[in-house]
């Protein structure tokens, strides 16, 4: 099991060394702090020179820059206040220039049909104004009915360019279309101004790119601010008794020796004890990077309780298997593998990325193996005779694929109930989970080999175990009987959950059928249209298989996770916990672009 056993550790030291000790403890990063007193809700005074929100906003602005410079890692030439001020100024200038450019482009687009002209002075027109309208020719009849003075300065095949003379803008109901906003600046001047704006915007972008060299140091500044805030919070959660203070937290049993050495070095008193039955420690999951992707999925959806079991490995392998069956194509799996390989280096910066990268590689590998076994290669036959000889299954064999899907679902839920029984091994409720597993197993063998009296007897024994041992009380009573009857109402649910695994077969068949359909459609177009048909054939193959690949990946992820996190979780996990969060400093890894 990969849920680490925890100890409750208490540290006692001198108050005068409290902040220094906590800083060293934060660097050690091994304890999940237990608050010994409520933290006051007073606001922490912020540094007036550097606003934390402005600092985060500046970092996000630089991170979104498409091109980044080599990172500066030494702080001797880094002035945080100046850098943040420069980034904020650049951000404001870029927004202003972008808005101005968009306005000029829209104004030029509206003015181009009218050509180059300059409006006369209002005194020359007796304070009359020109109002411009681009009217479709079929609406000119409506214009003719208006009493406003107007004239057509140009007429094309579709639109008429109409000018209305009026001291005020005509009411909207007098003209069939909204007026065109031309402004008073000539077209040539607008184009000159647009060019100047674009040049200034390019200079601003260049300055933004130059500022990206400070990203790493900005990240460190944010991390140090967060570390200082966490340190203050933990200091407020400790108990102070005049000259001494006490701090308490959870620590993995394997790390207890390190904490003991730390206590000796800092002159602290360390007391450790096992958690009591009434306590609920945090859940410390520990999995290797190879199968750690399952832990990321489990932690995202629901953290198991401390006294439960870690489903990370089961979720990893079952999700990979389900994804492969849904994809059912070796060619698509190679494409997925190529995508993972392309982003392999980019996904190496954090442990989470490395775990997800390993899961992606497993998905591509398992998908390729399963695709070879079912003979799927972009909806076509095997390109090599050797690969064709490895085909042992056919996704179009409905009976075999349905049998396989049902067996996978039954085995998955039987495993879930057996793991639930192991968690409840100290209680008679474990027999209830064994009863469900027995009932599913008896029904599965009866369906495959034909029901006999033995199958029905084993099925009945399983249900009796559910009836008698679903309650929390060990002695038989009316409450126990009621709990058992309520538990038996899940009979239709568990068999419905088993049948839910038929989606593996259905989605795999749908993926293979779509690939074959696109291949056939492309071949028919190529044969019907010689010459140009070859181009259309390639487009159909490219677009069709790209669409099918995306749909298959999305289906594999969604339904693969659904079977694990809904059907499987319902029968394998009862208690929800909370994650182990060590009191540690943030790490920022420098990177070079």
Tell me: the pLDDT tens digits for 493-507? 999 999 999 999 999
- What sections of 7-46 are H helices per DSSP? 18-28
State the average pLDDT over residues 99-107.
92
Q: Do 35 and 233 meet the contact criterion of CB atoms below 8 Å apart?
A: no
Which of 432, 403, 327 has its CA nearest to residue 370?
327
pLDDT value at position 170? 87
Backbone angles phi, psi at 472, to 5 degrees: -80, -25
Is residue 555 predicted with pLDDT exceeding 70? yes
Helix 453-469 vs helix 478-488: angle between axes, to the nearest 10 degrees?
130
What pLDDT is attached to residue 194? Answer: 94
Q: Mean of the pLDDT values across residues 559-577?
A: 90
What is the reported pLDDT for 587? 67
Least confident of 47-61, 205-219, 411-425, 526-540: 47-61
Spatial separation of the C-alpha atoms in residues 513 and 550, rounded to whole Å: 15
Q: Which two tokens stand for residue 365?
A: 């590998």
pLDDT band at residue 482, thresholds of 50, 70 and 90? confident
In a 3-state reduction of DSSP, which class is residue 176? coil
**Quick one: 345 exposed, middle or buried, by C-beta within 10 A (0-12, 13-18, 19+)?**
exposed
Q: If DSSP codes are grouped into helix, strand and coil, which group holds residue 468?
A: helix
Pairwise CA distance, residues 565 & 525, whole Å: 44
CA atoms within a 13 Å half-sphere pointing along the CA-CB vector of 86: 18
Do residues 351 and 289 lie in contact, with contact meaning Cβ atoms separated by under 8 Å? yes
Q: What are the extents of the domains in the chain?
A: 120-182
What's the pLDDT score for residue 109?
85
- Which of 33-42, 118-127, 282-291, 579-588 has the largest mean confidence? 282-291
For helices 18-28 and 256-266, the axis angle rounded to 10 degrees is 150
pLDDT classification of 258: cutoffs 50, 70, 90: very high
CA distances to 152, 159, 163, 165, 533 from 155, in Å: 7, 6, 12, 18, 42
DSSP state of 173: G
- Percentage above 90 pLDDT, the chain: 56
Q: How confident is the model at residue 592 (pLDDT cuts 50, 70, 90)?
A: very low
The reported pLDDT for the residue numbered 38 is 76
Which tokens belong to 200? 């200034």
- Which pLDDT score is estimated for 511? 92
CA dist list (Å): 117 to 151, 156, 182, 189, 190: 16, 19, 10, 11, 12
The answer, yes or no, to whether residue 420 has pLDDT greater than 80, is yes
381 CB-contact burial (10 Å; exposed 0-12 / middle 13-18 / buried 19+): exposed
pTM over 0.85, yes/no: no
Distance CA 345, CA 362 (A): 16
Phi and psi torsions of 145, nearest 5°: -85, -10
pLDDT of res. 473: 65
> What is the structure's pLDDT at 114?
81
């Amino acid at each position: 099991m990969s849920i680490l056993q925890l100890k409750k550790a208490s540290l006692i030291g001198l108050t005068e060394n409290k902040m220094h000790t906590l800083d060293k403890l934060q660097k050690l990063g091994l304890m999940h702090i237990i608050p010994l007193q409520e933290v006051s809700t007073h606001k922490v005074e912020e540094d007036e020179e550097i606003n934390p929100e402005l600092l985060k906003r500046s970092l996000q602005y630089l991170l979104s820059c498409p091109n980044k410079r080599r990172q500066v890692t030494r702080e001797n030439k880094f002035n945080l206040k100046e850098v943040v001020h420069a980034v904020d100024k650049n951000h404001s200038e870029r927004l202003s220039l972008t808005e101005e450019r968009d306005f000029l482009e829209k104004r030029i687009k509206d003015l181009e049909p009218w050509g180059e002209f300059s409006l006369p002075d209002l005194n020359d027109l007796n304070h009359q104004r020109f109002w411009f309208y681009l009217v479709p020719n079929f609406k000119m009849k409506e214009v003719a009915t208006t009493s406003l003075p107007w004239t057509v300065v140009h007429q094309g095949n579709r639109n008429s360019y109409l000018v209305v003379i009026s001291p005020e803008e005509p009411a909207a109901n007098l003209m069939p279309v909204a007026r065109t906003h031309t402004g008073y600046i000539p077209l040539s001047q607008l184009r000159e101004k647009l060019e100047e704006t674009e040049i200034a915007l390019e200079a601003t972008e260049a300055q933004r790119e130059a500022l990206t060299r400070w990203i790493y140091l900005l990240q460190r500044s944010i991390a140090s601010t967060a570390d200082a805030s966490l340190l203050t919070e933990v200091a407020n959660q400790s108990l102070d008794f005049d000259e001494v203070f006490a701090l308490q937290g959870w620590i993995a049993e394997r790390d207890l020796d390190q904490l003991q050495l730390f206590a000796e070095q800092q002159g602290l008193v360390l007391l450790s004890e096992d958690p009591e039955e009434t306590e609920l420690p945090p859940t410390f999951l520990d999995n290797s990077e190879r199968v750690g992707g399952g832990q990321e999925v489990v932690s995202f959806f629901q953290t198991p309780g401390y006294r439960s079991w870690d489903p990370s490995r089961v979720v990893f392998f079952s999700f990979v298997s389900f994804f492969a069956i849904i994809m059912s194509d070796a060619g698509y799996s190679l494409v997925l593998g190529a995508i993972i390989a392309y982003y392999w280096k980019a996904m190496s910066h954090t442990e989470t990325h490395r775990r997800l990268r390993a899961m992606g590689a497993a998905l591509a590998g398992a998908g390729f193996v399963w695709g070879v076994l079912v003979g799927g290669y972009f909806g076509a036959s095997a390109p090599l005779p050797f690969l064709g000889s490895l085909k042992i299954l056919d996704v179009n064999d409905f009976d075999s694929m349905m049998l396989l899907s049902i067996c996978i679902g039954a085995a998955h839920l039987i495993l879930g109930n057996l793991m639930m029984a192991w968690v409840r091994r100290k209680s008679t409720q474990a027999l209830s989970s064994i009863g469900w597993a027995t009932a599913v197993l008896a029904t599965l063998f009866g369906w495959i080999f034909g029901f006999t009296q033995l199958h029905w007897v084993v099925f009945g024994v399983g249900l009796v175990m559910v009836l008698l041992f679903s309650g929390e009380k060990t002695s038989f009573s009316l409450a126990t009987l009621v709990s058992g009857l309520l538990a038996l109402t899940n009979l239709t649910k568990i068999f419905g959950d088993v049948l839910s695994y038929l989606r593996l077969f259905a989605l795999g068949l749908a993926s293979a059928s779509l690939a074959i359909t696109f291949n056939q459609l492309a071949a028919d177009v190529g044969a019907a249209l010689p010459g140009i048909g070859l181009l259309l054939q390639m487009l159909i193959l490219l677009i069709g298989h790209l669409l099918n690949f995306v749909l298959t990946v999305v289906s594999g992820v969604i339904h693969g996770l659904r079977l694990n996190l809904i059907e499987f979780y319902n029968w394998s996990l009862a208690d929800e916990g909370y994650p182990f969060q060590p009191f540690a400093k943030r790490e920022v890894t420098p990177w070079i672009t």
